[in-house]
Structure 1
C-alpha cells in the first residue's frame, strides 16, 4: 500500500465530459475511486422536476400518521423491506436518529424451503396507501439503477479493465435496495438521543450507492484517510456516489469503500430528507476478485476508519450470509422474529443487546 494523497473535499464529476473528453473524465474518476471513494456526479438524465416530485413524495410518506406507517413496518416481512421507526436501527451499538422506508424493484418471493436462507431477503415491497407513491419511487429506482449501471462501466474503464468487467458480479433481474430517509432536527429529538443521524459505516455488499440529498441541510460527512471528517454538502443538480464494500473487494481494495456518517440537522432547521439506491453485487455464489493491473495495485490506499467491519470474514465465502447477518444486526426486531436461530447464533437476543 502507498501513502495516500488525502482529500479535503469531494470531487465533482460531469457525465457530459465522459462523452466530450473521455480520457480526462476517466482520469478524474480513477483519482476519486482510489483516493476518495466518494464523488458528486452531474450531467445525468434525471430531471429536476422529477426529483422535486420525489422529495415531496418522501415528505408526504413521513408525514403520514404513525399507525399508517406501522402498517408497512418491516417487522411484517423477512425481506427487511418496509418502514423503520425513529431510532429503530443501530450502528456500532448506538441508535441512529432517523426514520426510513426501505424499498426495492418489485419481485415476488424467491425463497422456498430448503433454499439458502439469504434468499428470504428477496420479495415484494410493503406499500402504503398513498397516492402516486408506488410509481414515483419505482421510477426513481429504475432511473438511479440505470445511472449506477452506467457508472460501473465507467469505473471498470477507469481501472484499466473492459467496460463490462463488473457485469458478471450483478445477477440479471436481482433485487437492488433503496430507501427514503428522514433525519429529524436535534430539537425534535429526545435530549438523550444525541446527534447521530447514522453512525460511521461503510455500505455493505454493494457496488455503488447513488444518493440524492433532497434538502439543503448539512450533515453528510466523509472520513478522509487520515481520519478527518469532511463535509459533503448538498449541491444542486448532483447525486453523491460512493463505493460499497462489494466493489472494494472485487477490485482488490484499489477503489475504497470510504467511511461516512450523517449528523442530525441543527436545531430549528427542520428535518433532512434523502433518497438512496444501493446497487448490489450478486449474493448467490462465492466471488473472486478481478485481475487488477499492477500499476493500480501499487496505488492501493491505506486509511483510518471509524467504521466497524463486522462479519467481514464471511463476505468472500458467502456474500448472501454476509448481507443477511448485517441486516439482522442493524434491525434486530426483524431479525429475531424471522431469523431467531441465526440471531441467537450470533448473540443477538434482544433489540438493544450487544453483539458478541
Structure 2
C-alpha cells in the first residue's frame, strides 16, 4: 500500500497542539497532504451543547411541512433556508436529503450594478420562536463556535505547511464575511421511493471554502471518503468529534499540496431511521482574484503525484479569476429553482434549467 492509499481517517487531538505542538503539526501536515480529511477532538465544544443542537435539528425536521416551507430558500436570493427532500442536485442526480442552510446574521446590501456574489449575503429565514423555542439561538451559537474552531485550525494548517500562522486568514478570509452551514436529514433507504436511489449527496469536493467542519449528529453510516487510489473509505461518527476536510479554495491557495478530497453520503440502511449531520463551511473571500501563496519547497516536494476523483469540476476555470461568480454558479446549479427565480440570466447563459 502506498502512502496515498489511506484506509482510515486519522484522529487529531487539538489539546496536543498545546502540549506537543511539533508532533501535532506533523500529524496535521500528513493529513493535509495525503488524506484531505481528519477528525478533531479536544476542541472544547461540550457534549451537552451538541446533544441539545441535535435535538433542535431533529425538532426542525419534525415540523409539519407547511411550517418548514415558510423558511423555504425559494423566498430568498441568498440560498439560505429550507430545501425539501430531493431538491438539490449533485452531478445531475437528485440528492436524497432534506436541509436547512444558515449563516452568521448579516443584512442584505446588494444593489443592481454591484458584483453578483454580494447578493448571496443576507439574513437567515427562521421558524417562529413559538414554533420551535430555542432553535435560532442554538443554531447561531453552533455557528459562532464552529467559526472559532475553523479559525484556530486554519492557523494551525498554515503552520503545518511552513507558513506564518495568519498567512491564510489575513489574505484569504474577509473580516465580517458570511460563512455558511447546514442542518441535514438523510432519510433511510426504506423511507425513499425505489426510483430515488441511495445518493444522499453525490461525489463532490467542497467548493470555494478553506475548511469544512462536520458534526455527525447520530451514529449511522453514510459518509464516505475517496482515497487517492479511488477506493471509498467509511468515515463513521466518533462521539464528540468533528470531521474536518479541505475545500477547493485551500487546495488552490496552497498550490495543491493540501488535497480537497472527494466524498459522498449514502442514505442509511433500511430500518435504521434518518441520519443527521451539521456541516460548517469556512469560506475563502469572493471579492478578489486569488493568487496562490508561496509554499516552502520541502513541503511542495510532498505534493501528491496523482489523485483519483469521481467529483466533477464544474465552472472550475472561473475560480481563480472570479471566485464570486464561481460561487454563484455553483449555487444555481445545485438549487436550480432558486437560481432560475433570482438569477435567470446567469442560469440561461450557463445552460442551467430545471
What band does the TM-score fall into relative to the shorter chain?
Answer: over 0.9
CA distance in 2, matches of 1:274, 1:4: 29
CA distance in 1, matches of 2:92, 2:285: 28
Aligned to 2:150: 148
Contact 1:223 1:259 in 2 (8 A): yes
Aligned to 1:139: 141
Aligned to 2:201: 198
Unaligned runs of 5+ in 2: none
User: 1:173-214: per-residue Cα shift (whole Å, max 9, x none)?
Assistant: 000000000000000000101100000000000000000000
Contact 1:34 1:255 in 2 (8 A): yes
SS in 1 for 2:15: helix
Match of 2:190 among 175, 180, 187: 187
Match of 2:341 among 331, 337, 340: 337
Q: Is 2:295 the partner of 1:315? A: no
Off by >3 Å, runs of 4+ in structure 1: none
SS in 2 for 1:198: strand
Aligned to 2:49: 50
CA distance in 2, matches of 1:289, 1:186: 42
Aligned to 1:289: 292
CA distance in 2, matches of 1:201, 1:5: 19
User: 1:34-53: per-residue Cα shift (whole Å, max 9, x none)?
Assistant: 00000000001100000000
1:118 deviation in Å? 1.1
Contact 1:221 1:260 in 2 (8 A): yes
User: 1:144-184: per-residue Cα shift (whole Å, max 9, x none)?
Assistant: 00000000000000000000100120000000000000000
Correspondences of 1:128-277 after superposition (within 5 Å): 128-129=127-128, 130-167=132-169, 168-277=171-280
TM-score by length of 2: 0.97
CA distance in 2, matches of 1:5, 1:61: 40
CA distance in 1, matches of 2:115, 2:3: 40
1:298 deviation in Å? 1.4
SS in 1 for 2:228: coil
Q: Is 2:27 the partner of 1:28? A: yes
CA distance in 1, matches of 2:202, 2:10: 23
CA distance in 2, matches of 1:344, 1:229: 35
Aligned to 2:96: 97
Q: Matched residue pairs, number?
A: 348
1:237 deviation in Å? 1.8
1:4 deviation in Å? 5.2
SS in 2 for 1:286: coil
Contact 1:4 1:225 in 2 (8 A): no
Correspondences of 1:41-120 after superposition (within 5 Å): 41-120=40-119
Contact 1:328 1:334 in 2 (8 A): yes
Unaligned runs of 5+ in 1: 352-356
CA distance in 2, matches of 1:8, 1:15: 22
User: 1:66-107: per-residue Cα shift (whole Å, max 9, x none)?
Assistant: 011111100000000000000000100100000000000000
1:348 deviation in Å? 1.1
SS in 2 for 1:71: helix
CA distance in 2, matches of 1:56, 1:347: 40
CA distance in 2, matches of 1:261, 1:5: 19
Q: Is 2:308 the partner of 1:304? A: yes
Aligned to 1:354: none
